Amino acid sequence: KAGVTQTPRYLIKTRGQQVTLSCSPISGHRSVSWYQQTPGQGLQFLFEYFSETQRNKGNFPGRFSGRQFSNSRSEMNVSTLELGDSALYLCASREGAAGLGYTFGSGTRLTVV
């Protein structure tokens, strides 16, 4: 069974640009969540999608958005990048609403210069 796949693994962008990150969950997992991880803040929840609908949202500005497709694949977009957006972005999937833990992807390391 393939794991959670995130692309790209590394990304360097310039301040002010926008970026799209992709996540393919484990087959059969309909819930996809996104997290931002930085050394200072740890793992911060961005949002969760379930069956193409955003179900939960963390405390991030509107520059951070996401979507989920009918095949459960998900994308997140960050517009008008800031230096502080440099982080490891992690995607995680789980089975349905009563899951007892996540399976994480390897993450996308975003560096904003």
Q: Which is nearer to other proteins, 24 or 31 (by Cβ)?
A: 31
Write down the least CB distance from residue 19 to other proteins, Å: 19
Q: Which is nearer to other proteins, 38 or 80 (by Cβ)?
A: 38
Write down the least CB distance from residue 39 to other proteins, Å: 10
Write down the least CB distance from residue 37 to other proteins, Å: 9
The answer to whether the bond into 8 is cis (omega within 30° of 0) is yes
Q: Which is nearer to other proteins, 45 or 60 (by Cβ)?
A: 45
Q: Which is nearer to other proteins, 64 or 89 (by Cβ)?
A: 89
In the complex, the residues that contact other proteins under the rule CB under 8 A are 4, 31, 33, 35, 42-43, 45, 48, 50, 55-56, 90, 92, 96-107, 109
Residues 6+ apart with CB under 8 A from 20: 75, 76, 77
Residues 6+ apart with CB under 8 A from 52: 67, 68, 69, 70
Kindly state the helix (H) or strand (E) to which residue 92 belongs, with its residue range. Answer: strand 87-94
DSSP sequence for 62-82: TTEEEEE-TTS-EEEEE-S--
